[in-house]
């Protein structure tokens, strides 16, 4: 409906409208006396309606043609209805319109005109001046809701996809590569053989709450994750802080526009870590003070979009940040809509109820490619799909059992039948897009006979009972959700391993797995910064058990040593050699059965432009526009 402004005829009111002097035009005393009212309708050149947007001029023409209502534009740009077209004459006394009696035939015309005007206004019911129209709103359909919007707590794609629109770090990845470019820092340099990093900050940047971004906000953003007992610490332990920021020994703020980090040891990927969506974005200290432990539900950053509302397990709405320091977003409103059903997501896209979706079912890839209304974005991803073993518990504390399980699964056939063109078979825990990838490792051969022999050797000649924990929704690395668990269960039954599938929704599932539930579990990993350190160290180094990133509880001194040396080495060739060696060790130990590498898939309508997926899976939606 048209809100806040209106038209009144006689004693029939469609609202009230202030006159230029701040007083109200008053209605007449009877049906044959009336006070003509000018109605301020809008200042913008278009009206937003449920069915679309229409121009102000279109409404003017329609009104004149149908009922003879004339429009005029005041100096302030407001459009007003001039009711003199109904035979009215206005006299002003102290800003209040007076009326004269209208002859019966003019009165009849006026009533008819009013009735037609009422129909006109009803036609545009749902239109709100200044509201955001369909062409300025992007609806993103996805399978699950975000868990957290505090960057210190984020450990999943659904949360990242939203938070990366709200927050920024000192640096960011270029739009189509994992090369780093300036963001909240304009320049930087290293000193003391890589032990000191100095960043010079961008001036004039504001947080969404209007407070200034400066070196103190950077210090608070990092120290709240690193220092125990910090008064602004997140509601629970930060899952990424140890990995992304744990090498920092001291943070100094020489002035408002300079931040200095002293490291415990030289750390080659430090700059790449600062571009990650978890732990590294800068948050508003005042926002932290205001919202406390509920900051995750009221995030305040410097990014191109601002949180407007969050209905849990339904939708998150963001609005454009009009004070954004960089290129202003082309879209005024982003809606992240939870659509759990894969069929519904595709239907929403095809019927234009959604502009962009992820979690595309494999069987829909080819049909969507063929649709003239849809464009499919498909890129080899930096993700691994795996079946994890709890290496600290029987029977998976035995390497022979882990290799037996992996040998009992026909990974190549599994990938071909379940994913079509949405995944590639894996031969290593590190995807091919990373430097240091070991392409010489052989793909695990499907061999039930070998599996049975290894089980017998480990003391399980008749197999055993176990559980497979899984999630109920598609993931970027596993497009079919629970179906993967069902197929694995079928393969394992052939070698005497009898399984029960425990399924849960994504949020509860991730919480349970992080708490150590499940001996066999399906999960995956998506690279955050394009560096192997973010894959191999965070997943398999024993120091990450306490952070719930090494979910396998895998501990191997040889692996730890190689991975630590690789992160402290500056020479790229030497780092590649060390990661190559680490993959050999992990292949022999098999803390997980690496199944497939994911493809990054998005589908969007063809009236959407500027959708580009970064190799790390990042998506800058402020560059997207609708035709």
* DSSP letter string, 1-52: ---S---EETTEES---B-TTS-B----SBTTB------B--SSSEEEETTE
**What's the rounded Cα separation, in Å, for the pair 49 and 130?**
10
* Residue 94, helix vs strand vs coil: coil
Give the predicted TM-score (pTM) of the model: 0.70
Residues 558-596 have pLDDT tens digits of: 999 999 999 989 888 999 999 999 999 999 999 999 999
Taking 3-state DSSP, the helix, strand and coil percentages for the chain, each rounded to the nearest 5, stand at 30, 25, 45
Residue 148 φ/ψ, nearest 5 degrees: -135, 155
Which range, of 32-46, 188-202, 234-248, 529-543, averages the lowest pLDDT?
32-46
Mean residue pLDDT of the chain comes to 83
Instruction: Say what the pLDDT of residue 133 is.
Output: 75
Instruction: Say what the pLDDT of residue 300 is.
Output: 98
Task: DSSP for 567-586, please give it.
Answer: HH---HHHHHHHHHHHHHHH
**What's the rounded Cα separation, in Å, for the pair 555 and 574?**
24
Residue 535 φ/ψ, nearest 5 degrees: -105, -60
pLDDT of 4 over the 50 cut: no
Q: Which residue has the tokens 């948050």?
A: 283
Task: DSSP for 501-559, please give it.
Answer: EEEE-HHHHHHHHHTT--SEEEEEEE-SSS-TIIIIIHHH-GGGTTTT--TT----HHH
Instruction: Say what the pLDDT of residue 547 is.
Output: 82
Instruction: Say what the pLDDT of residue 317 is.
Output: 98
- Tokens, residue 160: 């990242």
**What's the rounded Cα separation, in Å, for the pair 211 and 287?**
9
Residues 442-490 have pLDDT tens digits of: 999 999 999 999 999 999 999 999 999 999 888 889 999 999 999 999 9
Bridge partner residues of 172 (DSSP): 181
% of the chain residues with pLDDT over 70 = 79
Cβ proximity of 445 and 425 under 8 Å: no
In a 13 Å sphere around the CA of 587, the CA atoms on its Cβ side amount to: 19
pLDDT of 264 over the 50 cut: yes
Provide the 8-state DSSP code for 314: T
Instruction: Say what the pLDDT of residue 87 is.
Output: 37
Q: In the structure, what pLDDT confidence band is assigned to residue 110 with cuts at 50, 70 and 90?
A: low
pLDDT of 528 over the 90 cut: no
Q: Which residue has the tokens 């992820």?
A: 358
User: How far is residue 452 CA from its own chain's centroid?
Assistant: 44
pLDDT of 401 over the 90 cut: yes
Which range, of 87-91, 285-289, 451-455, averages the lowest pLDDT?
87-91
Cβ proximity of 517 and 469 under 8 Å: yes
**What's the rounded Cα separation, in Å, for the pair 578 and 572?**
10
Instruction: Say what the pLDDT of residue 73 is.
Output: 39
């Amino acid at each position: 409906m048209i809100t806040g402004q209106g038209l009144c005829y006689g004693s029939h009111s469609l609202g009230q409208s202030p006159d230029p002097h701040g007083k109200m035009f008053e209605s007449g005393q009877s049906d044959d006396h009336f006070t003509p009212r000018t109605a301020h309708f809008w200042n913008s050149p278009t009206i937003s309606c449920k069915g679309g947007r229409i121009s102000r001029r279109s409404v003017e023409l329609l009104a004149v043609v149908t009922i003879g209502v004339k429009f005029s534009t005041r100096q302030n740009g407001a459009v007003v209805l001039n009711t003199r077209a109904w035979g009215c004459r206005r006299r002003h006394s102290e800003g209040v319109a007076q009326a004269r009696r209208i002859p019966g035939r003019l009165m009849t015309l006026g009533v008819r005109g009013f009735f037609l005007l009422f129909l006109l206004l009803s036609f545009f019911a749902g239109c709100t001046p200044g509201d955001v129209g369909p062409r300025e709103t992007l609806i993103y359909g996805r399978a699950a809701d975000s868990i957290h919007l505090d960057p210190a707590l984020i450990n999943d794609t659904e949360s990242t996809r939203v938070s990366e629109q709200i927050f920024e770090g000192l640096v960011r990845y270029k739009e189509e590569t994992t090369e780093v470019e300036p963001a909240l820092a304009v320049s930087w340099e290293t000193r003391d053989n890589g032990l000191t990093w100095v960043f010079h900050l961008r001036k004039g940047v504001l947080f969404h709450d209007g407070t200034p971004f400066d070196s103190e906000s950077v210090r608070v953003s990092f120290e709240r994750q690193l220092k125990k007992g910090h008064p602004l610490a997140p509601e629970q332990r930060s899952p990424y802080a140890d990995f992304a920021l744990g090498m920092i020994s001291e943070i100094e703020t020489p002035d408002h526009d300079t931040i200095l980090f002293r490291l415990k040891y030289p750390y080659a990927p430090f700059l790449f870590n600062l571009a990650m969506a978890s732990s590294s974005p800068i948050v508003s200290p005042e926002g932290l003070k205001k919202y406390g432990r509920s900051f995750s539900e009221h995030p305040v950053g410097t990014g191109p979009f601002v949180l407007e509302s969050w209905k849990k397990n339904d939708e998150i709405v963001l609005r454009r940040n009009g004070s954004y320091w960089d290129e202003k977003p082309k879209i005024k409103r982003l809606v992240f809509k939870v659509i759990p059903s894969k069929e519904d997501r595709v239907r929403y896209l095809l019927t234009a109820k959604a502009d962009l979706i992820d979690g595309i079912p494999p069987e829909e890839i080819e049909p969507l490619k063929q649709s003239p209304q849809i464009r499919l974005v498909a890129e080899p991803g930096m993700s691994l799909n795996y079946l994890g073993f709890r290496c600290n518990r029987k029977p998976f504390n035995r390497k022979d059992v882990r290799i037996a399980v992996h040998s009992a699964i026909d990974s190549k056939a599994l990938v071909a039948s379940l994913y079509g063109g949405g995944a590639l078979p894996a031969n290593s825990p590190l995807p091919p897009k990373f430097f240091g990838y070991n392409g010489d490792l052989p793909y695990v051969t499907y061999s039930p006979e070998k599996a049975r022999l290894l089980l017998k050797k480990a003391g399980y000649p008749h197999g055993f009972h176990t559980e497979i924990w899984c999630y109920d929704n598609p993931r970027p690395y596993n497009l079919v959700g629970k179906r993967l668990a069902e197929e694995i269960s079928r393969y394992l039954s052939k070698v005497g391993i009898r399984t029960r599938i425990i399924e849960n929704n994504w949020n509860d599932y991730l919480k349970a797995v992080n708490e150590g539930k499940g001996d066999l579990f399906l999960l995956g990993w998506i690279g955050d910064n394009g560096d192997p350190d973010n894959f191999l160290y965070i997943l398999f180094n024993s120091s990450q058990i306490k952070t719930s990133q090494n979910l396998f509880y895998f501990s191997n001194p040889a692996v730890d040593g190689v991975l630590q040396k690789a992160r402290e080495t500056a020479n790229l060739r030497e780092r590649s050699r060390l990661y190559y060696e680490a993959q050999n060790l992990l292949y022999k130990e098999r803390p997980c059965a690496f199944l497939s590498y994911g493809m990054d898939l998005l589908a969007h309508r063809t009236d959407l432009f500027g959708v580009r997926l970064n190799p790390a899976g990042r998506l800058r939606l402020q560059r997207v526009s609708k035709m």
